[in-house]
Structure 1
Amino acid sequence: MKKSPKKYTPEVREKRVAHTNPPYPTPTSKPSLEVLVKNFTYKDFKKILDKGPFTIGEWADMLFISERTLHRYAKDNSSFNGLQIERILLLEQLIDTGNELFGKEGFKTWLQSAPFSLDSDRVKDKLTTHNGIQDVIDLLGRIQHGIPA
């Protein structure tokens, strides 16, 4: 006589992991970047524009848009797109660090210099790429901490 095969029944165990900081937004967490991006208008940009030593034409070059487009944004209080917002916020970090370190006029003068650590390129010329802006921010950080080139 043949034995009937046993049916396999897996053990079901309930596993729970307790998160101290949940990876999802909670009502008490800060607003997400998505919310900040949607609401970043020319009015917000104007606050950053007033802090820095750059003209509207220089901002247009750094954001890869025309001066006319910036003036249209000002007239309509339009929102910027995501890449422009990222560049503006990175440049705001640069402006804040530079103004803190050199003062507004000193920072404006320093932007015209050509430090050895930037391959003797003018600082202002480096501000057209993300990596160039990051290099300048890193250089300001080294200057703040007294680290030579």
Structure 2
Amino acid sequence: MNQANVFTPSQKPLGFWGKVGFPARGPKLHQALHDGFPFDVYSKLAKLSGLDKSDLASATVIASATLQRRAKSGKFNRDESDRLYRFAEVFKAALDLFEGNNDSASLWLKSQVRGLGNKRPVDMLATSAETEAVLDLIGRLEHGVFA
């Protein structure tokens, strides 16, 4: 058979959540959070966001000694996974705000933002309330609501 006539399905490029390695929402995400994310999620998030690993550790409040233990065990616990998810959610929202431009989204996360009281978004991810404030601001910016 002529190879030129053989149908081969094209590989659909992975979206953001596929590249990170966990589902965006729903029961599969809930289970993944309870089970703990695999350790490689950390490297994927650092690479995608353009943050160095120490900045990501700081943003997600994961100590370097804990990272070393998680590297050996191969996965994060539930609370650490939740903080990694919150970071990913904020980075994805920033990425959408900047129309897929990783550099702009990363720069915004690391810059002081007036709408956050001149704090850097990356410094406001330790709690769910602060994370919500960052996501709310991104939503307002997307819709042109600045007050």
What TM-score do you get using the length of structure 2 for normalisation?
0.67
Match of 1:118 in 2: 116
Distance 1:32 1:51, change over 3 A: closer
Deviation at 1:105, TM superposition (A): 0.9
Amino acid across the alignment from 1:119: G
Q: Does 1:37 find its partner at 2:34?
A: yes
Pairing partner for 2:46 from 33, 49, 54: 49
Deviation at 1:77, TM superposition (A): 5.2
Task: Report if the CA contact (8 A) 1:39-1:79 is conserved.
Answer: yes
Match of 1:90 in 2: 86
What TM-score do you get using the length of structure 1 for normalisation?
0.66
* Identity within the alignment, %: 25
The structure carrying a bigger helix percent of its residues is 2
Gapped runs of 5+ residues in structure 2?
1-25
Match of 2:58 in 1: 61
**Greater C-alpha radius of gyration:** 1
Structure 1 distance, partners of 2:33, 2:114, is: 37
Structure 2 distance, partners of 1:90, 1:69, is: 18
Amino acid across the alignment from 1:60: A
Deviations 1:10-59 (A, max 9, x none): xxxxxxxxxxxxxxxxxxx9547235531521023333232213221122
Gapped runs of 5+ residues in structure 1?
1-28
What is the root-mean-square deviation in Å for CA atoms of aligned residues? 2.5
Q: Tell me, what secondary structure is at the counterpart of 1:46?
A: helix
